Structures are given as C-alpha cells and as structure tokens.
Structure 1
Amino acid sequence: MAQYQDVRELLGVGPLTAPAKLGDISELETTFYQADDPWAAYRELPFARQAGLPGLYAAWLWHALQDNVQCDHALDASRSAMIGAIVAYVASDEPLTVAHVKQNRQLFDQCFFHLRTWYSGLGPTGRKFTERLTALSESLTKGPEQWAAALTSFNQACDKELDRAAMLAERMQTSELGHIKIAHAQQRVTGIYNDVVALHQLPEATLDFIDHIVLPSLQYLLINESDQAPDWSFWMRILRLIVWSVNPEKSPEDRQAFFNKGPVLLSQLENQSVSKAFSGNVYRDYVDEFSTQIITLLKGQTIETVTAPKRQVSAEVESLSQLQNGGAEHHFSAGDWLEFDSGETLIRCQFLMQAPGTDTLLFVNRSGHKVLQKTVEQMSACFDAGIAQEIPKIPSLSAALAAVNARMENLHERLTTQALAEQQEREKLERQKQALIQAKKRQLLVKKEAEVKARAEAERLALERAAREQAIKARQLSEAREAREQQLRDTLDNLTLGTWADLPLDDGKAVRCKLAVSMRSTNKYIFVDRVGRKVAELLYDDLLGYLLRDEAVFYKPEQGFENRLETIVRGLRRTE
C-alpha cells in the first residue's frame, strides 16, 4: 500500500527477510504497546530488523484481537489458533496489503461473534459447536486460501442453529405473551365480576350461567379482540341486566319494567351468534336453564338465591394489576447479548423481551431456551455487582484492523511531521548559511565600494591637486610669459638708435642690421645694414613677435658716435 511504502521510506527500513514468530509477538509486554515512540520501541526488539514493517503491524493486530475477541475459556485454544493464523499471515505479507484478511473480514467477524455467545452449558448443541470450531481452526492454519470456504461452512452451520433458536424463542415469546394476555384478561374480568356481580342475591343457576357463559365470553373478547369490540358492550349490558333481572327485591316500577325487559333478554341470549367462546350445544344448555329461571320470575314465583361471593385475585394477576401502566425502564434492545456470572454458573444470553405490562425481562441462550428471567431492578443490581455485563456489539476483526490502521496512520503522520520538521530545519540552516554568505558578499561589496570610493576620492583629490598644480604652473607660465613679454617690451621700449640686431629677414635666416629710425608715434622701426641701406621697416608688434619666438637678438649698443647721436636725437624729440 502507498501509505506503508511512504512509512518504509521515511523510516529507511529494509524489506522483510524473516517473518516475526507468533511466540515472540505474544511475549511482548503492555509497555511496548503504550510507548510514546512506537517505532523506537519496535526496532529495539531482536526480530525487528528481519521482520520489518509487517512485524510491527502483526504485533499491533495481535494485541487488538486479544482485546476484541473475548470468549469462554473453554474455547481459548481455538481462539488462539484463529488469531495466530491471521497474525502469521500478516507478519509474512511484505507489501502489507493484507488482502486475504480484508476479503474474509466479515466472515471472521461473524465467526468471532459466535465464539463470544457460546458457553459450556449449551448441552449437545454446544458440543457440536466445539467440534465444528476445532475443524475450523485446523483449516485456518493450512493457509489463507482455505479461509473463505472454512469460515463460510462454520458460519452457515452456526447461523442455522441461531435460526432454529430464534424460531424456538419466537414460539416461547408468543407463549409468554399469550400467558400474560390470559392473565391480564382474567384480572380484568375478575374486577368486573367484583364490581357488578359480587355481594348480590342471585340464584345458583344464574351464577353458573355468569361463571360459564358471560365471564368467559368477556375474557375471550379481551384475549382475541379488545374491549372496543361490539360484542364487549353486548355482554357488559347483558351482565348488568341479568343481575338486575334476578334481583328478588324490586320496586313496583322495576317489576313492571321486568315484564318488558325479561322476554327481550331471553330473546337476545337465544341468538347463538352472540357466543364465540362456546359450541352451540353447550351455550344452548346454559341459556335454556337460565330461561327457566327468568320464566319463573315472570310468573311471579320466587326463586331461592345466594349471595354471590367476592373473588380473590391470584398473586400473578395481582402483580399484573400493579403494573397496568407499563413496566420499569431498561436499556436493553432486542438482540442485546450479555454475560451473567453468578460465581457458580456462567451463561451467555440474549435479551428477548420485557413481559408487557410488567418489569420482568426475559433472556434466551443460543439454543433459544429461556435461561434468565429477572426484573429490571434485579438486573440493575446484577450489573452494579459485576455479576452481569454486556457483550460488546463490535465486529472483532474489523475493529482490530481499524485500530491498527489508525495506529499506522498516526505513525505515518508522526514520521511525516518529523521529516517535515527536519526538512524545515535543514532549510533553515541552509537559509542561515546563504544569509551568512550574502552578508559576507555584502560586506565584501561594501568594502569594495568603499575602496572604489576611496580610490575615486583619491583620484579626485589627485586630479584636484594636479589641476591646482597645473593652474599654478599655467599661472606661473602666464606670469612668466607676461613677465617675459613685459621684459621684451621693455627691451623694445629701451632700444636705442644704432642698436644692432639679428632679425629673420631672409626667409627666416638672421640678418644682422642696425636700428636707424624709431618712430614711436607710428610704432615703426627702420633697420639698415652696415653701409646704411634700409633692409627692413618693421612695426612694434613685428619685433615683439620675433622676440617672443626667439627669432630676434638685440645687442647692447656700444657707447660711441651712434649712441651719442641717438642721445642727441632723443633729446631733440623731447624738445619737440
């Protein structure tokens, strides 16, 4: 079965290699079955490893059947053989489908029911039962293939006995009911007699007619019909009319009425159809005799009378009269079985009926014989004293299988829960591990990001520093260029006539020449060669550009004629 395969996988248990022996299973103590962890208790057993999961199932089934299959000690050997056959089969069933047990479950339930209701006091019928049971036990040990036929044969024979017992019990029940009904009718009719007839003056022949015709007719109607039948009203009216008619002490008015009612009374009685309780001859003889008395009274003659005696109710009828409103309550239902053990005698019997109108309970045995009759109060006392106890109405094997399957389901649920908890714990540890890895990764990432950020900051600072340094250098260069330019401007501004210079006048080649004219108003400079020929006329910016590009060289002029001439010319310009 899929469930048991799941249990095997959850337990990691191997396959069956050697079935558990019934002797080993039967020696297990109660503490084993009460263990909180059934598998832990089972795997400690010597045979558990080889017996596998079927061994545990068989042990539980054996224990459940021991509790469910209760019977007379005289049947213990057969009971043990039957349970042993079932348990041995289960212990060797590796897939645990227990197919043969399930197929014959109802047959076993019925068989165990017969065992529970048997006891040694059943006589010949009981001995036949034990003979069949012995043969059944032997057949069951031959293998599960023999179970269905053997159980069917046994149950059919036992069912026939119970059918015969039921028919006997039904006849007995009918007899009991008839007896009770007769007693009840007698009690009712006796009450009517005491109310209507007793203590009145009547002729003896009239008393005979009342005793042998009227009262039996009323009793017959109560037993076979009811007090609602038309004939019941007829005989009640006739009974009162008879007592009134033969009463010797009548008033003149009653005497006159009697002359009218007397003939009518005789006419009604002479109709034979009114009597159902007697043959025509018997009824006619009593009516004829009673008619003679009525005719005598109609003639005005007197008749000798006696006082009708009051009648006593028998003890049985008296008990019925005390229970007219029904018997005491009880908890039994038809078919209930009980065990009654007085200490000296043990019987197992079935509730048959509560006698109508009484508190008497009747019980019969498997043979249909009445074996127990007690009042509700007496039976309650027997239960309180432990003398009587009910035989449980449970299908023994079905209940045992249900109990074992429930235990196996609990084990499966326990193992599943445990496996789930372990899986959740593993997943928790894995999550914790992954969380730790992720935390380390995050820490490493944060560290790397910090390092990148630090590097970026360092690079930024380096760039800023380089920028600052470059700016400084640029400023310094700019200042140097400006200073140089200013210096070169100063050089140009301080040029004097006659100053020699090397200028790139011949396609970039230096040509030595001398400043001959410097016109500041137009920023023009004229240079001549050594013989005084003009070689170049340049602007201030041209000369500045040459100097900036280091293409021109000006020589410090020597103090001589030219210098003096230039001084004179500069002086003249100042005076202008």
Structure 2
Amino acid sequence: MSEFTLQTIIAGDSLQLSEVFASIAAHEGNATGQLRAQLANEIALSFTTSHLWDLQLQLPLQPLWQLLSNAISRDDEFFCNTQHPLRALLQALLTGCYWYPREGKPAQQFQDKYLSLVESCKTRLTITDEGSVDSASLQAAVQQYSDWLAGEDKRAAMLETRLCETELANLKQISAETRVIDLINKNLAGRPLPTDLHPLVSGTLKSELQYWAFNRTPEELIQLPLWKSWNRLLPALGELFSSDDAQVDDQFLYQQIPLVIAELERSSEHPVNHSQSYQQLIEQLSGYLMANIQKQALENSLFPALANSAGQSSSNTHVPYSLLKQTEQIHPGDWFIFFGENDECLRCKLALKNPEVDQLLLVDHTGRKVMIKSHKDFALCLSTGIARPLIAPDIQRLIENTLPSWIERANTSVQAQLLQQKQKAEQLVRALIAKQQAAAEVAAKARAEAEARMQQQLEARRAAARKAMAEARALADEQRRREAEQAAEAERLRIEQAEAEAAETLARRQMAQQAVSELQVGAWLEIQLENEKQRAKLSVIIASTNKYIFADQVGRKLAEYTRDQLQEQVAQEQIKILRNGDNFEDQLAKVIRGLRRDLS
C-alpha cells in the first residue's frame, strides 16, 4: 500500500482523502464523520482570528462559520478542488477583512452589499434533506457579489493611481524638507547663535539646501559639493558662539574660525539656486564670525529647532537600524492594520513606496488616501504594535498547512499494519536465510580459493608490468637526453648565425657611413625611385640640416635624403654609389679653368 501524499489529494484525488479518514478511524477507533467535522472546524477557526474583521462585520459573521464548517465536513471535494463553491464563498468573504467604517458612500455601500451576501449565504448553507447545500444558488449569490466588487475594485485602482501621481511630488517635497530640517536641527538646535542669523538659517540656508535635496536623489545628494560643505560647516557653527551659560575657549576660536571662514568661501564657489541671497548669507555669517574672533559684543540666543511637516517624527527620535530594516521588506500592495484610540482600527494598503522619497502613502480599500508615514514613523508603529501586517488567510495554503498532520496520522496507521505484515515476512525470511547460509559458506570458501589463485596471477602480471614500465622510462630518459643535446646544438648554431649576421650588418652600416661621409658634390649614385633605378647626381649638401639633394643629368631635383636616411639605404644596397665626386679644391680649379677659357 502506497503512502498518502498531500500533492495527490490537493490535485483532485478526493478518494484518497476518504481513505485517509478511514485509515485514521480504523487505527484510532473514531468515526469518519467525527474526523471530518474536526478537520472542517480547524479550517473555519482560521477565519475567526482576532482583528481579522471589523467589529461591525464580526458579529454578523459568527453564525456563518459553524454553517460553513458543517458544509465542509460533508464534502471532501472542498480540499481537492480549487474551484469549489465553498472556496469561492470564503474568498468572497475575505474581501471584508480590508473594510472598516469610514464616512462616504463607497464604505457604506460595501458594508450593505457584504452583509447582504452574508445573510443570503446563511440561508443557502442550511443542509437540505439530501444532506448537501444548494450549490447552484450559493454560486449565483457569490458571483453576483463578485461582479459588483470587480467594478468597485477597478474604480478603486484608478483612484489609487491618480492619487499616487498627485502625491508623489508632495511626498518628495516633504522628504527633502525633512532631510534638511534634520541636518540643521541635529547641529544647531539648542545651540547659541547670533539672533540676526536665525532667520537666515531657517530661511535662506534651509531653502537652498532643500532645493538640492528635492532635485537630487539621496545617492547624488551626499556627493554634492555644497551638501558636503554644509555637513562640515553646521557642526562647527554650533560650537563657535558663546551663551550666558557657556563660554567658548579663545584658543578654540582662533583655531576654528579661520577654517570655517575658508570653508564658507569655498562653498560660495559651488553652484547654488539663489546666488544673491546665498552670497548675503555667506557675507553676514563671515561677518559675525570675524566679530566673534575680535571679541565684539554679539547678541546670541539659542537656535530653536525647526518644525517638521505634519505627520513627521522628530529627528531626535532614535529608531534602531533593525526596526528601520523592517520597512525595506514591505512592498506596495501590502495591507496593514493601525490600532487607534477607543478600539478604532484603520485597515490600509501601501499604495506608494518610492526609493527617492522617504514617505509611504497608505490608502483604504476604495483607493482613498488614509495617511502618509515616513519610514521612521512606520517602523515605530510596527515596533510599538500600533501597526501590524494584515494578512488574509490564503485558502489553498491553509489547506496545505492543515492536511499534512492528518496525512501523517493516516500514514502512521498504514505503517502499523505494514509493520505486522513485515514481522511475519521476516520470520519466513530468517528461516530461508538459515537454509541458504550453509550453502553460502561452502560457496564462499570456493570463491576464496579462486580469488587467491587470481591474486597470485595478478601479482605476477603486475611485476611484469613494473619491469616493462622501468625499461620504458629508461628509453624515454635516453630519448629526452638526446633531444636536449640536439636542441642545445641547434641553439648554439642559431646564436653563432645571429652573431655573424649582426657583425655583417654592423660592418655594412660602418661602410655605408664611411661611404656617405666621403661623398662630395658632383658624386653620382644609382637610386631606386618608383621601382625604377635612376642615375642621380649629388647637387647640394646642406650641412646645417644634414640633407643631401640629388638631381638628374639636366639639373632637375630627383630626391632628397637626410644623412641617416642616405646611410640606411646605402647599407641596405637600395642606393649604389657610382662615383664620389670632386672635393672643393678640384671643383674650384674646374671653375677657374672654365673662366680662363671663356676669357681667351
């Protein structure tokens, strides 16, 4: 007999579930009807947990759970068929866990429709004479409610979408303001500061920093030069001015004020939104710092903490990181219940959670706005129990979590029967084993003798193999030695050839250098131009640039080379020297002889 499995039952095998009840009943001595009623009660009780329903719905629902339990206990298909009418009814009833009393027509209309469904289902869940419920009329009532609710949900989704689009800019503004106020309050609230500077800090500075906090993502903002600068300036400003109760050490002022003034001047070089008002802030602040270091009398007063926007917590409220981490696990679409005074419960859905905005927008089941919370406020609500997740029971998961214990009980009963059968079988097996054991011992002795002979043969073969391997390694070593000697000889010949070629190249270059050095104007050379050899005469040598200019027989310029280029091509035999030409004295003599001939 195979074991009962959860997957088989929830896949549609109601017969196996009946066998589960039968197996438990046979082993534990209970009636199957009683077992079915116990399981149905477990399912029904899951829908009666505290705070799952508003009080105005909880009381009308109480009589319905027993009726549902009775109907479930008479129909095993409830556990096997996801489309079962009773499941559809439960799914429809679960929509009420998101409702709470609120002014307005949508909330009142939902309550009326929901209670009408509850009352009609009470009548239809009454067991008929045939021992079942009127499934057809029950399905019709549930379908009518579901059709109406689908239209309401569609309108709620549209309203929620428009609300999110409207609130996003406002939430971003609130987040930027809160970030700036937290920064200023953290460093200046309750610290002495010149009274005339109070409106500049709470006005000009707050406005300027808030502009950048609004137009930059949190990651971009912390890298912004102006933001970095004021993160350094504000802690220092909170420690530089004296009050009646506390005086600042002069040495500390002489050390810190020049650094702060220099940082202020650097901050004015960064891009700002309102340059004129920001420059005025820098100038007045620098002036007060200079007056302070010069010991001039200043009217100082404690800087009052800037107020956060409505609904925002104080920056002095410390929330552990572990609590803030909880808000990272929530997502739009998650439902929460908030507990107020006088047992008031608000059931809200998270509609908007934008990474760039430290705010959470919560709406009711109709898509209307309920509240806005910062991550810090929301974490505090969760930690203090003011808010908790509202998780409606998942019917399929509830069945999958409830049935395993019953399946385990059934499998235990089956295993007990199998154990008895196993014990009888083991007695037969032991008798058979006793008979076979003697024969096995004889066979084992014969196998041992055969294995000994095979082991001797194997050892002999291994010895022969080891000898052959040793001879093979010796031959391989000799072969490698010969190859190494041949490689060394080849390398020696290659090096000698390379040295000879290098010596030949050096000699050719030296001869080319000497030949070029001996060239005189009038020398004739054979040069390669456009893949054609031509005779060229050295017409000019420009000593300052080491250039050699060649012409043809009628004096037209053919080529021009530097000394290095000419030496290289002569060395490579691309240019051939036909005649070196005359030196200066010989050429001068030729000119003089020519002049004399002309005079005579």
| TM-score normalised by structure 2 residue count | 0.41
| TM-score normalised by structure 1 residue count | 0.42
